[in-house]
């Protein structure tokens, strides 16, 4: 099993330094999305006192030419703090700070998709849109081989691994447990976790979160997972189809509801939203992975509990449909629906924005309507 060299450093030696008092100073780790739209970057700033809110955090900057976000001749980018969490690695009073990125002219970078999402959520805030996102991921060695798989072969076929227990079925639970507790400490709205269908594949759920909070909490949960995996010397992949062949892919199923959907008779509102989604399938497919649908084309084949990328479908308790209405929702005639199309590497800001645009702002067509 290939693990990183840094994971083999003596953690007890490190801990004696981490136990040193830090006085009144605070370490704030600024986190942002890089030019790939998928990668996360971070760096730390010393503050003179513990910030009580985002408003207490100063703007900062970084070299955008090293993150594929600017040219070297004009490389300074602005980091604008937008959400703050407790730091589970350095512990209180230290902070994790999620930032938006602005260019030299104070306009959002191309991968700052939070900026528009925030505006759309504000337009629809009277609907009280709630989201819950089910983030699937795969654990890999530093050589790219799935964690726990035989070095020169494959584990037994899928079947015994989903929600499994036992050393021969659950691969990497230490990482899952560490991530779960770290998210709880940080204040991330993590709501559950389970082993997935493919061995070395897991899922955690974040939500319910209202509006822009969904994207903020999921991005920080992803950052914490990357950071936990770094300590263990392994890699987390959000690739939607990390292993070709007869293995499940990885999605980010998104549960969605509004105040009207959650109240008596809400099923009718859900069905109306699904009708609008059916007419805008292509727009959503383009929004649901960072490559405009190319990544999802490897996953949404109509097999392995997925719908076909070229056809919209909906059904009660149907995991092979684009949109699944949970059986309990069909019985209670109110609740939420699950969009099963988003890929594991989706940008949650884009996914949640697309749902609000189509279902609540009642946009139509293959492009977002900003007129």
- Topology adopted by domain 23-110: Ubiquitin-like (UB roll) (3.10.20)
Instruction: Please tell me the distance from the alpha carbon of residue 20 to that of residue 23, in angstroms, as a whole number.
Output: 9
Provide the pLDDT for residue 371.
60
Q: What is the CATH number of domain 121-360?
A: 3.30.590.10
Question: What is the per-residue pLDDT across 158-192, written as a single tens digit (0 to 9) for each?
Answer: 999 999 999 999 999 999 999 999 999 999 999 99
The band of 153, judged by pLDDT with boundaries at 50, 70 and 90, is: confident
Question: What is the mean pLDDT of the segment spanning 359-368?
Answer: 93
User: Rounded CA gap, 2 and 233, in Å?
Assistant: 8
Q: What is the mean pLDDT of residues 206-215?
A: 98
pTM to 2 decimals? 0.97
Alpha-carbon span 207 to 352, nearest angstrom: 12
Residue with the larger pLDDT of the pair 152 and 54: 54
Cis peptide before 93, with omega less than 30 degrees from 0? Answer: yes
CA dist 266 and 335 (Å) reads 7
Torsion of CA 151, 148, 299, 320, to 10 degrees: 130
Report the pLDDT averaged over residues 143-153.
92
CA distances from 145 to 91, 114, 142, 166, 192 (A): 32, 33, 7, 21, 26
Read off the tokens for 371: 């007129």
pLDDT of 318 reads: 77
- The 10 Å Cβ neighbour count of residue 45 is 15
Within the chain, all domains assigned CATH 3.30.590.10 are found at: 121-360
């Amino acid at each position: 099993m290939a693990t990183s060299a840094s994971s083999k450093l003596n953690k007890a030696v490190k801990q004696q330094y981490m136990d040193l008092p830090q006085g009144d100073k605070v370490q704030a780790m600024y986190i942002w999305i890089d030019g790939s739209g998928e990668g996360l970057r971070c760096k730390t700033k010393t503050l003179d006192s513990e910030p009580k809110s985002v408003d207490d955090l100063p703007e900062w900057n970084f070299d955008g030419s090293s993150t594929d976000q600017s040219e070297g001749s004009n490389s300074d980018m602005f980091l604008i703090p937008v959400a703050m969490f407790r730091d589970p690695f350095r512990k209180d009073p230290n902070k994790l700070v999620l930032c938006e990125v602005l260019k030299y002219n104070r306009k959002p970078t191309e991968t700052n998709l939070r900026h528009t999402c925030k505006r759309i959520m504000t337009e629809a805030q009277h609907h009280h849109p709630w989201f819950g996102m089910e983030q699937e991921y795969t654990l890999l060695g530093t050589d790219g081989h799935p964690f726990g798989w035989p070095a020169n072969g494959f584990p037994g076929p899928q079947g015994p691994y989903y929600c499994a227990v036992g050393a021969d079925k659950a691969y990497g639970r230490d990482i899952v447990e560490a991530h779960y507790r770290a998210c709880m400490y940080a204040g991330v709205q993590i709501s559950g976790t389970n082993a997935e269908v493919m061995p070395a594949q897991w899922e955690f759920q974040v939500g319910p979160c209202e509006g822009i909070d969904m994207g903020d909490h999921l991005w920080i949960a992803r950052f914490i997972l990357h950071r936990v995996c770094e300590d263990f010397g392994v890699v987390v992949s959000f690739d939607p189809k990390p292993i070709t062949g007869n293995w499940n892919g990885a999605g980010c199923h998104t549960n969605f509801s509004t105040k009207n959907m959650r109240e008596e008779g809400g099923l009718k509102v859900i069905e109306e939203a699904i009708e609008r989604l059916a007419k805008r399938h292509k727009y959503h497919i383009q929004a649901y992975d960072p490559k405009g649908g190319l990544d999802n084309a490897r996953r949404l084949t109509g097999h392995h509990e997925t719908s076909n990328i070229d056809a919209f479908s909906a059904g009660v308790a149907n995991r092979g449909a684009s949109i699944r209405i949970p059986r309990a929702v069909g019985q209670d005639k109110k609740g939420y629906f699950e969009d099963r199309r988003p890929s594991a590497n989706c940008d949650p800001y884009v996914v949640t924005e697309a749902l609000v645009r189509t279902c609540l702002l009642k946009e139509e067509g293959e492009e977002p309507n900003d007129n």
